[in-house]
Amino acid sequence: MTDHASTDASETAAPADTRGRVAELRAIREEAWAGPSERATAAQHGKGKLTARERIALLLDEGSFREVGVLRRHRASGFGLEAKRPYTDGVVTGWGTVHGRTVFVYAHDFRIFGGALGEAHAAKIHKIMDMALAAGAPLVSLNDGAGARIQEGVSALAGYGGIFQRNTRASGVIPQISVMLGPCAGGAAYSPALTDFVFMVRETAQMFITGPDVVQAVTGAQVTQNGLGGAEVHAGTSGVAHFAYDDEETCLEEVRYLLTLLPSNNRENPPVVASKDPADRRCEALVDLVPVDGNRPYDMRAVIEELVDDGEFLEVHERWAGNIICALARLDGQAVGVVANQPQSLAGVLDISASEKAARFVQMCDAFNIPIVTLLDVPGFLPGVDQEHGGIIRHGAKLLYAYCNATVPRISLVLRKAYGGAYIVMDSQSIGADVTLAWPTNEIAVMGAEGAANVIFRRQIAAAEDPEAMRARMVKEYRTELMHPYYAAERGLVDDVIEPAETREVLIGALAMLRNKHADLPARKHGNPPQ
């Protein structure tokens, strides 16, 4: 068989009995399942890539896949298309289960037309997206395609419009996960950007609007495909990709794990898993993990690991905006989203990228009924001309809006410092956190003691015989009067000051209390969040 060719059943004599018809059906299905040719399959494997069906087999539970549209073929003509009408038209669609729960999937078959999208190809994707939304089940796309099928012209482009419309309609209703396993160029890149999570495989996956040739023609810059839109770029620089892995097997296994932390749709809660990690386990290590000195860094990941069930969590956007951590984990078996400043990176300040990263994560958790635990150790917003001109006000407001708009259970904990507007933005009690806690090492204030003393006592310091000694005395006085650990608790700004070792037990108890929380937003078509 030649590439992209297929037997046309209409050109052969029809079998005379049912058994013959069944045999004919089996032969056609086997042809569709096999793909265009062994040579095309070998070429796919030679690039270090699996076929569409091999990928689906890794994603779904064994034997659970039910295909839709296996016999679909295009009806286009011209440019030789009428002689190439392979079954499936280059995309495999259907549903199955992941850990026993229904999941819908479509996978581009790069062996057929390079996985390019044509009218019939798009219609199959539209169908499976509609089915996922109607069934209230997650949708996973396995992307490996060359963009629109040029031979079909605007009909192919219109197919993308239908996908984008359905991505938007399903947003916040069912989890949508895009897995990038090959090229994704031009308008095709917008569908993954509309979904909840983007996974990429290093070296083999790329995403860009205009390719290296166009970039060089317009700007003169020479860049490779991976240098322009590879996994490392999108996971670490652009923030387009949430996860990046070295191989397809690991990538798809992590997709399966992510699905265990998400509900099937926005009307359900995430699955609860029985935990062997005691809810009342004391976390004595926390006492030494976080230094009292606010200028000393530490790894917030170690704090999260100590708190959550079995020390396991899935970090989202690990490589991008490292000064804030967003992670999915479990506390006493219940899925939670953790937002935490990372003192190891930029001292944990909020900047443009960190605000965008955390805002999107908070919105995702709120959409899918995942409680949010916020761990604060934040010295403020990052100062600088670049930040101000880049719109730190606008971008910081995204995080503020996301928290204020969230109706899921929200618990915040101040580990150490929480200064200025960044303290308010990071789910303070004043913007609606349900339970606010602090460790006895906390410092909640408008700014650090040194900065505050320089402002308040500027004249006294300048007039003193020994300005440095006066400054030190004023810093100590300000810290004693306004920054002691119980100042916020005395004024009701935090609900309780707790021992670090009892943090896990307190968090789990608060989550149990809030499990049936109900909050209504004002009647409106939708809000107008800062962009």
- Long-range contacts of the stretch 266-272 (C-beta < 8 A, 24+): 266/172, 266/173, 266/174, 266/367, 266/368, 266/369, 267/136, 268/136, 268/369, 269/369, 270/334, 270/335, 270/368, 270/369, 270/370, 271/101, 271/335, 272/333, 272/334, 272/335
Q: Would you report the helix, strand and coil content of the chain in percent, each value rounded to 5?
A: 45, 20, 40
Which among 186, 294, 390, 420 is annotated as catalytic? 186
Closest C-alpha to 504, from 334, 267, 325: 334
Active site residue 186: yes
Active site residue 76: no
Active site residue 527: no
Closest C-alpha to 387, from 344, 358, 353: 353
E strands, 236-280, are 243-245
| CB-based contacts of 219, cutoff 8 Å, min separation 6 | none
| Residues 265, 137 contacting (CB under 8 angstroms) | yes
Side chain identity, residue 431: I
Active site residue 148: no
The rounded distance, in Å, linking the Cα atoms of 58 and 247 is 12
Which among 205, 354, 422, 452 is annotated as catalytic? 422
3-class DSSP string for 184-234: EEHHHHHHHHHCCEEEEECCCCEEECCCHHHHHHHHCCCCCHHHHHEHHHH
Strand-pairing partners, residue 117, are: 148
Which among 211, 239, 390, 421 is annotated as catalytic? 421
Chain centroid to Cα 359, Å, comes to: 11
Which among 69, 96, 187, 396 is annotated as catalytic? 187
Catalytic annotation, residues: 186-187, 421-422
